[in-house]
Structure 1
Amino acid sequence: MSVWDRPEPPHRPVPLDRERIVAAAMALADDGGLDAVSLRKVAARLNAGPMRLYGYLSTKQELFDLMVDEVYAEILPPEQPGDWREALRAIARRTRHAALRHEWLADLLGGRPALGPNALAVGEATLAALTGRTDIDTALRAVETVNAYTTGAIRRETANLRAERATGLSKHDWQRTSGPHLTRMLATGRYPALTKAVYDGTDVDTEASFETGLDWILDAVAARLTRPPA
């Protein structure tokens, strides 16, 4: 029986429920990442014994599943845009924003589909945006493609944020520190394409980069949706 189908035990002197447990776990993860989350630490935060938590969940993975589903409640748009493109864009943007609030989310995206009620609601909203515009297999591949781009972009941005904290160097500080080595390597003439990118390319921030990539992905989806059947 999944954690979603398992009934909660009755309250005891220290009242608990999955909502309080998940909130405590998310607070720990927001402060210190997933490594900061354990059933013992969550129980301590709630002034309860660790064994009490096993009445509500069986493993730490189940706790992570509950945490992810709680974030999906933040991702679900309050209203479904009528245009499919804006619907997919809204969910991708809200996913990125949620991941910036909860960096640990990047470590839990991209695996097996999340099956909590909020995750299913987001999945329904995403597929519903394409319903009637193409066949179900094309819709599924389109959603997979947008999700893969969004997850990859989130993981890259999160990795950069973690690197900044670990090294104490901002992006521009790192560029200045690495500049002399890169200049010497480019001067060898072995990397003409990279040289052009470094000296002629436009430097954009992460949000602009995300939005541009998302536009290109949605353009590709649009081409598939308008392609006549074979």
Structure 2
Amino acid sequence: MRLYGYIATKDELLDLMVDAVHAEIRPAGDGWREVLRSLAETTRQAVHQHEWLADLLGGRPQLGPHALARGETVVAAMGGVDVDTVMPVVDAVNAYVIGAVRREITERRAERATGMDKRQWQSAFGPYLVRTFASGRFPALAAVVRDGAHLDADQTFRMGLDFLLDGIEARISS
């Protein structure tokens, strides 16, 4: 309650908290691709450090000094890209990161709530999937689950980010 002598609302407090974390998100690199990769990875790291951030990303624009500094760094790195393309590119990367980290944090929270880690969950639900896939109704899904690579969260995040950055590169190079 003492904080409300300094700030007016809970939303203002949350904005200040989010901006404080933006100070930890310091994208760096040579060229737009490295800076966007760094933006994605440092944002993900910040969310893993501050789990509550996953619930607040993607809301209204963040206009605090740390968020604006982060935005300036990213937009400046997009120097050779058409000005009308810059924000859709940055928004696409941000949307990917937000979706990925929310999924990761949701899985982490589910593990805590159920007390089952990924392997325990797979053991519990594996027999159901074996029976379901044996029905023949889901052959494509069964093949992917049975034969596909089972990547960890880091590998999945980086591969998805590579797909996105490759697509952006192909689009802005044409």
For the criterion TM > 0.5, the same-fold answer is yes
Question: 1:45 corresponds to which residue?
Answer: none
Give the drift of 1:82.
1.8
State how far apart, in whole Å, the 1-side matches of 2:149 and 2:4 are.
53
Give the drift of 1:169.
0.3
Q: Is the 8 A contact 1:66 1:116 kept in 2?
A: yes
Superposed CA offset, 1:89-137 (max 9, x none): 0111000001001111000001111110001111111111112x22212
Unaligned runs of 5+ in 1: 1-49
Supply the RMSD in Å over aligned alpha carbons.
0.9
Bigger helix fraction: 2
Q: Is the 8 A contact 1:76 1:122 kept in 2?
A: yes
State how far apart, in whole Å, the 2-side matches of 1:87 and 1:161 are.
28
Q: Is the 8 A contact 2:31 2:78 kept in 1?
A: no
Q: Counterpart amino acid of 2:48?
A: L
Aligned identity (percent) is 55
1:135-150 matches, within 5 Å, as: 135-150=82-97
Q: 1:129 aligns with which of 77, 90, 94?
A: 77
Question: 2:11 corresponds to which residue?
Answer: 61
Unaligned runs of 5+ in 2: none
State how far apart, in whole Å, the 2-side matches of 1:90 and 1:82 are.
10
Runs of 4+ in 1 over 4 A off after TM superposition: none
State how far apart, in whole Å, the 2-side matches of 1:83 and 1:214 are.
16
State how far apart, in whole Å, the 2-side matches of 1:58 and 1:207 are.
39
State how far apart, in whole Å, the 2-side matches of 1:150 and 1:137 are.
22
Q: TM-score, normalised on structure 1?
A: 0.74
Q: Counterpart amino acid of 2:63?
A: L
Q: Is the 8 A contact 1:69 1:119 kept in 2?
A: yes
Superposed CA offset, 1:158-183 (max 9, x none): 00000000000001110010001111
Q: TM-score, normalised on structure 2?
A: 0.97
Give the drift of 1:54.
2.2
Q: Greater relative contact order (Cα 8 A, min sep 6): structure 1 or 2? A: 2
